[in-house]
Amino acid sequence: MAESFDISKKVYDAEDIRKLLGIGRTKAYEFLDEVYKKQEPFRVIKIGKVYRIPCKPFEKRALKKSDSLKKNWAFFSVGIIIEV
């Protein structure tokens, strides 16, 4: 069954990122923690243990590049894709 997302959202949460990237919960949190520390390739806001990711920067950097995923992306040490 296809996942649906509210396109009027301003921020994604960890569950949204998990679904969008097709990864498990643990990997999603490892990925968001790594991105939070670097603030690259998109911005991550962390309040306590809660992550919020502004939609537009995430979509611009992560989802728009999915067409050329195999050529332009590599797997990071935690098994998450990052731009090379």
Predicted pLDDT of residue 70 = 38
Three-class DSSP labels, 50-83? EEEEEHHHHHHHHHHHHHHHHHHEEECCCCCEEE
Q: What is the pLDDT along the chain (84 residues), one digit of tens a residue?
A: 455 656 678 999 999 999 988 899 999 999 999 999 999 888 999 999 999 999 988 888 876 655 444 344 444 434 445 444
Predicted pLDDT of residue 60 = 83
Task: Say if residue 57 is preceded by a cis peptide, omega within 30 of 0.
Answer: no
Predicted pLDDT of residue 7 = 60
78, amino acid identity:
V
